[in-house]
Structure 1
Amino acid sequence: MTATAAPREYALTSHEVADFRINGVVQAPTWLDVTLAQPHVLSVSVKPGASWGLHEDYIRVALNTPRQHEALIKVKADVRGDVVPSANPLDLGIMRAGNRNEALVRLNSRSQKAFKLGKIAVEGFNARTEVLPCRPKADGCKLVRVVVGKDQPAGSFRGTLHVELPELRTQLPVSIWGFLVPKDYKIRDVTPDPGQSKATAPASLHDELKASTQVKKSEQAPPPGDGPLLKWTASSLDTVYGFQIFRADSEQGPFLLINPKPVLADMNDENPQTFQWRDNDVRHGATYYYSIGILRVDGKKEHLAGPQKVVAK
């Protein structure tokens, strides 16, 4: 986004309380303007004086929810001015020592005006640079050749190309990374041969070991109490941490979280799993609507099932 881009709005949601709101912005990056557009909506814009290049940081906000008092919102931006690089970040890929390992960074003026380059330096790895004219020649265009040094150690590297723009009184940083292997290093293809199957234990032994260690959730006793008992089955749980239960007094909601601790899943079990959870905080004879959500290991939340109407006996 450009430093003059229009503000963007980001809405936060929660099922913990019906009147969810953001109480305030606790901390924000110095290159951002962050305000409340609505009680649950942030308005975010890049400050006009923000430095160019890649930015990554967090906004910390205070919440009115009883279990989660704050939230972190990750923000990433590529702040651009008049002069922009052809790629940022620039991935050099895998290179072999002893070769001439280089890349060209094309710098273009969006206003198509000629510009001068000042000091150019590479930080983070050994390299030299060279300024070249664009082909075909054009106003507002320059090429910077980056040549990885012969003395660059093998392994992964990451750094920044700093380009000074004296007429604009600013500096343009370009992130660069790559991986350098020794000259005689053999790169092997680990893709299995199409005609070759993966080595596995005999089916009978594999099943026997699995059966001896597997906990059959469907055979577990129901949770104690006499409230509504929720039961569900799910599969493909290798990225699922657990499940959250939401309840409402009507089918339209609002649905509020009622289990502070999620119902945990077994990510190592490849078979479908059956889960149970009982809601004992109910009024007998009342009607409730339940919804089940998925909580993945990376923090993402998804809807699984519901709403389901239940009358508490």
Structure 2
Amino acid sequence: MLPATALILSLLAAAAPAPAPKTHLDVSPCRIGEHQQFEIVSCDIQLKNDGDKPITISKGEAALPWDTIEQGTTVPAHGTAYLKATVELRDSVGFVKRSFRFHTSEPGPLAVRGASVHAFVSTVLDEIAPKIDFEAVKIDGAMPTKSISLSSREVADFRILAVTDKPAYIDARVGEDGRTVVATLRKDAPWGLQHEKIKLKINAPQQSQAWISVDVNVLGEVAPSGNPFSFGLMRTNAKNEFLLRLTSESGKDFNVGATRLEGVKGKVAAVPCVPAATGCRMLRITVANDQQVGRLQGNIQVELPDSERTLPIEVVGMLLPPDYVVHDFEKELEKSGQASSTASATPSGTPGGLDLKQAIKQEVHKDESAPPPGNGPLLKWSVTNEGTVYAYVIYRADSETGPFVRVNKELIRAADDEGNAFGTYQYRDNSAVSGRTYWYQIGTVKGTGEKAPLSGAQKVVAK
């Protein structure tokens, strides 16, 4: 018989959890650099195996339906292999991360691995994400018309050439100025929240198309009390059940057919309102706890046989384990945003902005690097508190009032120093004609792709 101490140690050893399996597969993110909207770009995701056995890769899939990844390969022992991933950038802008996953022959939780492709995407449009928002529209009322004007300081004479695609329930045309799109909602618009695109052909050599997002919440005879409907914060050890009211505009009773919950694991059923009321039904939604935690987003499809319509209702929420601590970052984010939301360039004697004329004449915060070769106007500037600035662009015009057009083909990357606190820059415009007078402006491009001015117009005579 074992001594008591030995018995306790034996029991502890038996109860100790097995160590997590060690992966032998290293997956490197693929960084494809700077690209333009609507490009289709491929890259090779590197897989390195430091183990003694080959690892089989299979069932590759992309998070977005228009991206693709090779279905599989074999990574040899102590070797390297690659999976080719292809991404359609479409109307993405700024820093972009596209996600993929694949199955491996490694054990347990290592059997499914993830990979990613990273890029910075530019657009020729000044307004980087143009959108027409019809907001809430009653289907039995007047159908609204809205317009949006597009502009580009990257093209000398920017024009919209044609509307190439649009939702069937929207009439869209190019205005007489060649820069405006006029859109009218039609009576046959589907009920509920709709998110669509109007696609345009434009005359920019960098990109041949631009998309306008269209949002509308069409209120038909039957409408939900909230769309989108929020589940809020849910815990995996709680019963996450919700009630959503449906009411008829006319106050008349209506029938509810089949209901489906899509994109979120759970179930939905139509039940009577309590207390009972004419023209009212409830949806009882139960969110399952045995699904991936984190942000949940999907929709409920409600068939309405009396109207021969299907009503989509968007749902969103956050599902977390019971012991997960939720921190309130609101104040810190607000402070951080105030500190870094703008880039300032303030040479000595020029508070509040960049005097480009002085920057051209003399060095600002002395830059020891050699100036770019050539004889054109040399622009120099210094920026403190760069914050979210990713890069700089140079605009030039023949008069103070413009139009200004970008002259630097490649983005001038912001300094990558720790904290992004300070950077000095110079650019020589070798396309300038000697003896001509120009006006220059410097602009910023943030990590989101958003564009903003950094300096006012400054006059320069090319020598």
> Relative CO higher for 1 or 2, CA cutoff 8 Å, sep ≥ 6?
1
193, 214, 222: which one aligns with 2:371: 222
The residue that corresponds to 1:186 in the other structure is 323
TM normalised by structure 2 equals: 0.56
Give 1:203-214 correspondences, 5 Å limit.
none
Contact between 2:232 and 2:318, CA under 8 Å: does it hold in 1? yes
Instruction: Report the identity percentage.
Output: 38
1:76-123 CA-to-partner distances (Å, cap 9, x unmatched) read 333332322122222213322343211121223334444332333323
403, 406, 412: which one aligns with 1:257: 406
Structure 1's consecutive aligned runs of 4 or more residues displaced over 4 angstroms after TM superposition are 189-192
The residue that corresponds to 1:131 in the other structure is 271
Offset at residue 276 of structure 1 (A): 0.8
Distance 1:69 1:101 in 2: 48
The residue that corresponds to 1:23 in the other structure is 161
Distance 2:439 2:288 in 1: 65
Contact between 1:239 and 1:267, CA under 8 Å: does it hold in 2? no
The residue that corresponds to 2:61 in the other structure is none
Secondary structure in structure 2 of the residue aligned to 1:74: strand
Q: 1:71 to 1:149 in 2, by over 3 A?
A: closer
1:127-151 CA-to-partner distances (Å, cap 9, x unmatched) read 242423255x65433322212346x
Partner AA of 1:277 in structure 2: Y
Offset at residue 302 of structure 1 (A): 1.0
Distance 1:111 1:267 in 2: 61
> RMSD between aligned alpha carbons?
2.6
Contact between 1:238 and 1:267, CA under 8 Å: does it hold in 2? no
391, 412, 424: which one aligns with 1:242: 391
Q: 1:146 to 1:217 in 2, by over 3 A?
A: farther
Q: 1:26 to 1:191 in 2, by over 3 A?
A: closer
Q: Does structure 1 residue 10 correspond to structure 2 residue 148? A: yes
- Structure 1 stretches of 5 or more lacking a match? 193-215
208, 213, 229: which one aligns with 1:74: 213
Q: 1:235 to 1:131 in 2, by over 3 A?
A: farther
The residue that corresponds to 1:55 in the other structure is 194
Q: 1:72 to 1:236 in 2, by over 3 A?
A: farther
Distance 1:56 1:167 in 2: 25
Give 1:93-242 correspondences, 5 Å limit.
93-124=232-263, 125-133=265-273, 135=275, 138-149=277-288, 152-156=290-294, 157-182=296-321, 185-190=322-327, 218-242=367-391
1:29-71 CA-to-partner distances (Å, cap 9, x unmatched) read 3443321123111112333223222333333211122333222
Offset at residue 294 of structure 1 (A): 1.1
Partner AA of 1:131 in structure 2: V
Secondary structure in structure 2 of the residue aligned to 1:306: coil
TM normalised by structure 1 equals: 0.80
Distance 2:401 2:447 in 1: 29
Distance 2:251 2:416 in 1: 55
Q: How many residue pairs end up in the alignment?
A: 286
Deviates more, 1:74-83 or 1:272-281: 74-83
Partner AA of 1:44 in structure 2: A
Q: 1:302 to 1:145 in 2, by over 3 A?
A: same
Secondary structure in structure 2 of the residue aligned to 1:305: coil
Distance 1:302 1:291 in 2: 11
Offset at residue 289 of structure 1 (A): 0.7
Offset at residue 19 of structure 1 (A): 2.9
Secondary structure in structure 1 of the residue aligned to 2:171: strand
Contact between 1:294 and 1:303, CA under 8 Å: does it hold in 2? yes
1:144-183 CA-to-partner distances (Å, cap 9, x unmatched) read 2212346x4352443322222222211111122334345x
Secondary structure in structure 1 of the residue aligned to 2:455: strand
445, 448, 457: which one aligns with 1:298: 448
Offset at residue 265 of structure 1 (A): 0.9
Distance 2:233 2:407 in 1: 50
Secondary structure in structure 1 of the residue aligned to 2:306: helix
Q: 1:235 to 1:68 in 2, by over 3 A?
A: farther
Q: 1:267 to 1:131 in 2, by over 3 A?
A: farther
- Structure 2 stretches of 5 or more lacking a match? 1-135, 330-364
Offset at residue 9 of structure 1 (A): 0.6
